[in-house]
Amino acid sequence: MSLHPPRDKRVSLADAARLVPDDAMVALGGGLSARLPMALVRELIRQGRRGLHLVGSAHSIDVDLLVATGAVRRCEESYVGFEQDLGLAPAYRRAAETGAIEVAESCCATILAQLRAAEMGLPFLPVRGVRGSDIRRLHPEYAEITCPFTGETLVAVPALRPDVALLHAPIGDRYGNLHLEQPYVLDERFAAASRAVIATVDEIVSTDEVTAAGVTIPAHKVAAVTEVPFGAHPTSCYPRYAYDRAHLREYTAAAAAGPDGVDKYLSGYLGDDEEQYREAVGADRLRALTTWSESTDAWQELFR
């Protein structure tokens, strides 16, 4: 991996998504209901991407939608679902149960070690757990080693180097300097371990503004950046907007009804581009998600 020179990296969303080829290993930034790279996910679906190997920590509608539309060959996350609130991931679950995808379920700490190996340029790193867990059986690529210093048995996990990391940030500049709010989840590690970062930001701002807020992911790691307002919707991107629980509930109910339900959801929302997506969601709804900071009551009400 070479570092990316400091040039203007702004591209259209369609061109950004074209940097993800069929069969690529794709790391997904964010986690659960926060900062998932949804605009890029939707664009990959519009472009009919196939054969992806998805890598991540704890995910929800990003993985579920890509699986639902047949874009995925292999899933390697620590969790895919909608937590206690909205339950199992309908399309992911269906695909796992029918054998339509390979499920190489992993563990947050293992994926972290594998990404660190890649960013350090090492072939593997050891982890201490995993033995005794059946997760070990899902990963024939792991190997047991004996520590030459202590004699402890450890599990060697190979470097994981995604072809591309898809990240979403509230702000970034034209060169790809990105500012994120905590929790960064694995975004920094994905940026360091992947061959290329493709980023969407809610707003492209001046370099001064990003540096004042703090650069979390530096431009030299980023291959392309695209401005997409509400690019993480229906997940959150603080400080701009909270997650859209009602939309996620609508999606999970639709997807649970089967492929027809997914089709109905997609025909209602996907559109030809993100402008049409935002129109389908509705300006009032999107604006409401930005009111979280007005008061504790307003924030709480968004989640009822």
Partner 1 sequence: MSWTIDEWFVIALARTIRPAETVFHGFGSPCAQVAMHVARRTHAREMTLIEGATYAINPEPAFIPPTGNDESLRRGAAYSMRFEEFFDAAIRGDVDRMFLSGGQIDPFGNTNVTAIGPAGRPKVKLGGGGGGCNLSATIPHLTLWTSHHRSGRTLVGSCDFITDMGHRTPLGSRAELGFSGGGPQWLVTELGLFDYPGERARLVRIFPDVTVDQIRAATGFEFEVAGDLRPVDPPSAAELAAVRTIDPLKVRASEFSAAELDRTFDAAAGQDCGC
| Interacting residues toward partner 1 by CB under 8 A | 31-34, 57-58, 77-81, 83-85, 88-89, 92-93, 96-97, 99, 103, 105, 107-110, 112, 116, 127-135, 137-138, 152-153, 181-186, 188-189, 236, 238-239, 242-243, 245, 292, 296, 299-300, 303-304
Query: In the bound complex, what is the minimum distance in angstroms from residue 97's beta carbon to partner 1?
Result: 6
User: Which residue lies nearer to partner 1 by CB, 243 or 277?
Assistant: 243
What's the min distance (Å) between Cβ of 82 and partner 1? 8
Shortest Å, Cβ 270 to partner 1: 24
- Closest separation in Å from C-beta 190 to partner 1: 11
Residue 20 vs 66, nearer CB to partner 1: 66
Least distance from partner 1 to the Cβ atom of residue 48, Å: 25
Considering the complex, state which of residue 79 and residue 251 has its C-beta at the smaller distance from partner 1: 79
Distances in whole angstroms, Cα of residue 210 to Cα of each of 5, 10, 183, 189, 230: 18, 15, 18, 20, 18
Calpha distance 129→161 (Å, rounded) = 22
The minimum distance between CB 265 and partner 1, in angstroms, equals: 20
77 vs 163, which CB is nearer to partner 1? Answer: 77
- Which CB sits closer to partner 1, 251 or 292? 292
Nearer to partner 1, 175 or 292 (CB): 292
